[in-house]
Structure 1
Amino acid sequence: MNKVKFFSIALVAFGFSTYAQEVELAKKAIDAEQYEKAKSILKAGIQAKPDNGKIAFLLGNVYLQQSQQDSAKMFFQKGLTAKEFASFNYIGLGQLDLNSGNTEAAQFNFDQATKDIKKKDIEQFIYIGKAFTNAEKPDFKKAIANLTKAKAINPNDAQIQMALGDAYYGDRNQNDAYAAYRNAFEADPTLLKAKMQLGVLLKGAKAFPEAKSAFDGVVAINPNYGPVYRELAETYYQWGANDKTKYKEYTAKGLEYYEKYMSLTDYSLASRFRHAEFLILAKDYKALEKEAEAMKKLDNVNPRILRYLGYALYENGNFDGAIQALTDYTTNPKNKIIGRDYLYLGLAELKKATPAPATPEAKSVINDVLFQTAVANLRKAVDLDKPMANDLNDIGKIYFEQKLYKYAADIYEVATSNPNSKNYLYDNFYLGYALYFDNSGKDAAKMNVVALKKADKAFDNVTVASPTTQDAYIYRARVNSLLQNDAVAEEQMAKSYADYIRVVTEKGTAEVEKSSNKTKFVEAYQNLALHYKKDKVKATEYITKALAIEPTNSDSLSIQKSLK
């Protein structure tokens, strides 16, 4: 009812005020991220002035900012039929082409928008620059090139400087971005976004106190400027993440500022989506579930709601609900899937596939089919977004500690698919470790040769990345000792035992004298003696060293006897 009422008022307003005034009101609403208000003003403008194509273009751009491309396209096409300013709508269609990856069509549309402009026209170049900056796959260099054309005509225009600041910021040119934002605010002191972006640059440099001070300066000018509270919220979150002693306090402060931001925008679906993203960062999953349910009431067909609902339901322990929501989301080919969608789906399936054991000493009874489905989704997560591998280390550990080695290995194998993972060394070690223990107690006929070769490779990865990790050598030797009747494996076993002895010896007497290492030295010498049994001199040398450590070791004495 309120929206209809506002639309009616806006329509009347367009009848009594100038076009320019209403467009400025709409632009201010867009700048304040009050998108529903802006849409109401612009829809009223189209009703009042159907021949003005620029109003349709601005409205289409609002829909673009809200990722509603079909609605945006509808208004751009409508705008092309207008008698005035129709050509601006080619710019909107051009950005849609950029979003779909059709750069040739985009350039054609941009050329259509500029072919009949006058010498001093700059607005088209500004919007083309913004299109390159705001596209799903931005091209900041082309944005800067188009904005530079506008700057050559009017170097002091605030909107040119603002758009240049955004393009330079996207291009990671902090110095030029800072200069452009500063120039924009100096040219137009009402352009609060430019002043706010100076704080955003400081936030990006992790100069959090200075960023807060910059944002406070914006609040002092206009305490009702909503976007600055979002920036304060994100600053406090990052500040807390950077200073663990303040994490709880600053995250709470960030959530408080985000609520302030929401209250000053229009609680549209777009602002709620951004709020949901912040709640994920802040790990406030109860609030996220509540927000997702509220979004469903606003728009029950928007698929992104399923993403947030799935994440929240998983974190809040409703694994069936999470599986349903995320399966519905990831199986829709129209949805833009990210790695974390598959990660949460896989984690929810793991939880369902692995019920808690009956007693603390017991093992979980695992649903193998669902477990493998979960692993496949975890692999999709890492394939889409390599850093997702960082989240799997603790998951693999849960299975390993229950001695569910085969299942632990499946998780670690996915984790090791990212060589740049922060846990790459650890994950490879435990992949090899798990595969070794899963096979070490089996009869030779039941051993999984493919798995043992994976274990060998995993331990090799460890020693390449960290040549002084001594236990990787001893376990690589043990893995290869299980690969019977394999000459290559036998040679690798001997080499790995010798490498273990070398690495520990190089660390000095204190390391060698540790009881755990002495036991492993005996194992290494015994196996080397057996490996070189045809070379009695060499074999005797190794078994003599073993007996020097443990003179009464029955296995060593038996090997010594066989060599005589």
Structure 2
Amino acid sequence: MKMIKRVAMSVTALVFIGSSVFAQSLADAKKAIDAEQYQKAKTMLKNLTVTQPTSDENWFYLGWVYIKQDYADSAKTAFNKGIAINPKTALNYAGLGAVARLDKDQAGATSNFNQALANAGKDTKPYLYVGKAYLLMVPPANIVTQANADAAIAVLEKGKTVNTKVKDAELMVTLGDAYVSQLKSSEAYKNYSDALGADPKSLTANVAEGVLWRLANNWESAANQFKAALAIDPNYGPAYREWAETDLRQAKNELKVAKEKVMEGVEYYKKYLSLTDMSLESQLRYADFLYNAGDFKALQELAANLSKYANSNLRVYRYLGYSASENKDYPAAISALNKWISAAGEKRILATDYLVLGKAQLGAGDTLGIANLRKAYQMDTTKADVFLEIAKSDLDRKKYLEGAQAYQDYFDKSHKSTLQDKFLQARAYFSAFTRAPEGSKPDSALLTKADTGFAIVSIKLGKPFAAAVQYRAYIADMKDLDRNNIKGLAKPYYEQLISLITAKPALTDVDKRDLAEAYAYLAAIYEYKDKDDAKTLEAYTKAKEYDPANKQVVAYFSRKPAAKTTK
């Protein structure tokens, strides 16, 4: 992680590097953007806005860098400055449309996109960036919707026709990306191939085609495309990033090479970082990679380091919160997520943020976590698993009835359940009855719910489940209320339990105690209901074999001295 700790020096140094080092051309700035060297590009573009004050295009690309860095307000300022210089600008209106989309202002987005295309003439670039704007992810969405993909495809296809003399490879690549977002691989491949036909040295086209092969789980072909890009430019960082992502996908699909591929992917990602000026934004992408790779220790270290710098992107605190929670560092998780949620603004908050915060709070013993878990569900009803977390918390706090009801909420809202969930709910109903507050009258309906739940477990399992059978025995015995007229309702369950336990190849101490308990119950039935002394002695003797300390066994042999020596 030494590389990560150079971020402050790297970013700060760039601020002071003069124009003598960076070529002051828009082409070089655009090349830096393409290589995801955003800090370098931003420095170039800021200089260009000073040395070329009448160029509205410089302000657009500066604004676009801000969009890539997740600074929408700064982007909007840059685009408006470009419009002030040239009211007929097309690109800056496309940029304002992108900002409006990120602000979830659909009317504003449409209005600005329309103005951009009206001003475009035969220039394909406004069409390109309107298409890119439609493909931007707007939280909480993490995929491109069909409607936005269709809008992007429509404008990009039109862009291909506005000037037939121009073959815009970048536009073709973006069109391919739009098709990929909807899993239309044939259309995507055609556009990537067309882009390479228009510009055989297109780095983005080679890498995009590699990503397409990755999605088809064709690891070799994907790697070949990344190699092709690096043969053109060995310092093209995005090729290493996508190669790292390919290794991660392969690791998740082929367990036998998982460790090797994750390690290789980490090295490729570090190479990517070294080639992208170690900017905060490139490291945030590395944070995404570490999160998906499940390396929460490295992620927490990275996020904690990045959070030390004054100009850190707020998303650092989300990563810090998520990773600290996974590492059970609950105080750090709670602190980071509270900072993120309070400062990020409502439009950027995801249901998962409240979900992870709630889990961390419960992990730290703070019941405020339940409210945050419920808030996560309110924001996203697909997250019904929150009710499992609530149920577990309730049971840990001995809130048995609340826990059982939380399980029911989970079943009703998720429309799924495991047998273990059903068993735990049934046990919670049982405990709610048996551990009712002192002085209160337990609700017998809870026993009925518990018994039904235990019965369902065995039915769905397709065979008797010993623990469920044992609880059903307890419940049946509790329902045998008239001790002067014992019916022996639990007898068939205890007999079944004995059969299930003794069938095991080896018995644990718990098994032995359970067997003693079962035989002691049968002995009591033989003694008080059947009046069969021989069976009574036989059952108590079996109980004594398994657990001589069983209270009923000790009491029986204490009051029946003759039985002590009877064989």
Does TM-score exceed 0.5, indicating one fold? yes
What stretches of structure 2 of length at least 5 have no aligned partner?
1-11, 480-489, 504-521, 531-567
Alignment correspondent of 1:379: 374
Of 294, 300, 318, 1:307 maps to: 318
Alignment correspondent of 1:431: 425
When residues 456 and 98 of structure 1 are mapped into structure 2, their CA distance, relative to the original with a 3 A threshold, is farther
User: In 2, distance between residues paired with 1:454 and 1:59?
Assistant: 64
Q: Does 1:211 align with 2:229?
A: no
When residues 74 and 455 of structure 1 are mapped into structure 2, their CA distance, relative to the original with a 3 A threshold, is farther
- The aligned runs of 1:484-503 (5 Å cut-off) are none
Alignment correspondent of 2:551: none
Asked if the contact 1:215–1:228 (Cα under 8 Å) also holds between the matched residues in 2, the reply is yes
Asked if the contact 1:10–1:41 (Cα under 8 Å) also holds between the matched residues in 2, the reply is no
Q: Which moved more, 1:453-462 or 1:47-56?
A: 453-462
Q: How many aligned positions are there?
A: 477
Q: What is the deviation of 1:174?
A: 1.5
Of 130, 133, 149, 2:132 maps to: 130
User: In 2, distance between residues paired with 1:469 and 1:379?
Assistant: 36
Q: What is the deviation of 1:448?
A: 6.0
Of 73, 76, 87, 1:73 maps to: 76
Task: Name the aligned partner's letter for residue 152 of structure 2.
Answer: A
Alignment correspondent of 1:280: 291
Alignment correspondent of 2:268: 257
Of 364, 385, 388, 1:352 maps to: 364
Q: Does 1:447 align with 2:458?
A: no
When residues 350 and 53 of structure 1 are mapped into structure 2, their CA distance, relative to the original with a 3 A threshold, is same
Alignment correspondent of 2:59: 56
User: In 1, distance between residues paired with 2:407 and 2:26?
Assistant: 57
- The aligned runs of 1:408-419 (5 Å cut-off) are 409=404, 412=407, 416=411, 419=414
Q: What is the deviation of 1:430?
A: 2.3
When residues 329 and 2 of structure 1 are mapped into structure 2, their CA distance, relative to the original with a 3 A threshold, is closer
- The aligned runs of 1:36-435 (5 Å cut-off) are 36-83=39-86, 86-118=89-121, 120-134=122-136, 136=138, 138=144, 139-153=148-162, 154=164, 156-299=167-310, 302-332=313-343, 334=345, 336-353=348-365, 370=366, 372-384=367-379, 409=404, 412=407, 416=411, 419=414, 424-435=418-429
Q: What is the deviation of 1:239?
A: 1.5
> What is the DSSP-based 3-state SS (H/G/I as helix, E as strand, rest coil) of the residue aligned with 1:9?
coil
User: In 1, distance between residues paired with 2:127 and 2:444?
Assistant: 64
When residues 347 and 157 of structure 1 are mapped into structure 2, their CA distance, relative to the original with a 3 A threshold, is same
Q: Which moved more, 1:286-295 or 1:74-83?
A: 286-295
- The aligned runs of 1:459-538 (5 Å cut-off) are 515-516=499-500
The normalised TM-score by structure 2 is 0.72
User: In 2, distance between residues paired with 1:463 and 1:102?
Assistant: 54
Alignment correspondent of 1:562: none
When residues 141 and 551 of structure 1 are mapped into structure 2, their CA distance, relative to the original with a 3 A threshold, is same
Task: Name the aligned partner's letter for residue 343 of structure 1.
Answer: L
> What is the DSSP-based 3-state SS (H/G/I as helix, E as strand, rest coil) of the residue aligned with 2:364?
helix
| 1:420-451 C-alpha deviation (Å, 9 max, x unpaired) | 66x55543442233333342455894436897
| 1:293-346 C-alpha deviation (Å, 9 max, x unpaired) | 331233356322222222333344432222222222234461522343233323
When residues 455 and 61 of structure 1 are mapped into structure 2, their CA distance, relative to the original with a 3 A threshold, is farther
User: In 1, distance between residues paired with 2:70 and 2:231?
Assistant: 32
Q: What is the deviation of 1:52?
A: 1.3
Structure 1 vs Structure 2 CA RMSD: 4.2
> What is the DSSP-based 3-state SS (H/G/I as helix, E as strand, rest coil) of the residue aligned with 2:86?
coil
User: In 1, distance between residues paired with 2:123 and 2:216?
Assistant: 36
| 1:92-128 C-alpha deviation (Å, 9 max, x unpaired) | 111122222222222211222222443x332222221
Q: What is the deviation of 1:290?
A: 2.4
Structure with greater contact order relative to length (CA < 8 Å, sep ≥ 6) = 2
Q: What is the deviation of 1:518?
A: 12
Asked if the contact 1:405–1:438 (Cα under 8 Å) also holds between the matched residues in 2, the reply is yes
Asked if the contact 1:10–1:40 (Cα under 8 Å) also holds between the matched residues in 2, the reply is no
The normalised TM-score by structure 1 is 0.72
When residues 218 and 236 of structure 1 are mapped into structure 2, their CA distance, relative to the original with a 3 A threshold, is same
When residues 447 and 552 of structure 1 are mapped into structure 2, their CA distance, relative to the original with a 3 A threshold, is closer
| 1:506-528 C-alpha deviation (Å, 9 max, x unpaired) | xxxxxx99924999xxxxxxxxx
| 1:186-209 C-alpha deviation (Å, 9 max, x unpaired) | 211221111111121222223334
Task: Name the aligned partner's letter for residue 159 of structure 2.
Answer: A
User: In 1, distance between residues paired with 2:387 and 2:272?
Assistant: 34
User: In 1, distance between residues paired with 2:261 and 2:46?
Assistant: 41
User: In 2, distance between residues paired with 1:375 and 1:477?
Assistant: 31
User: In 1, distance between residues paired with 2:13 and 2:68?
Assistant: 23
Task: Name the aligned partner's letter for residue 64 of structure 2.
Answer: N
Asked if the contact 2:113–2:130 (Cα under 8 Å) also holds between the matched residues in 1, the reply is yes
Asked if the contact 2:173–2:205 (Cα under 8 Å) also holds between the matched residues in 1, the reply is yes
Task: Name the aligned partner's letter for residue 359 of structure 2.
Answer: L
| 1:118-153 C-alpha deviation (Å, 9 max, x unpaired) | 3x3322222211111225265010111111111223
Larger radius of gyration: 2
Q: What is the deviation of 1:78?
A: 0.5
Q: What is the deviation of 1:177?
A: 0.9
> What is the DSSP-based 3-state SS (H/G/I as helix, E as strand, rest coil) of the residue aligned with 1:195?
helix
Q: Which moved more, 1:318-327 or 1:251-260?
A: 318-327
When residues 82 and 276 of structure 1 are mapped into structure 2, their CA distance, relative to the original with a 3 A threshold, is same
Name the % identity.
35
Q: Does 1:27 align with 2:30?
A: yes
Asked if the contact 1:463–1:469 (Cα under 8 Å) also holds between the matched residues in 2, the reply is yes
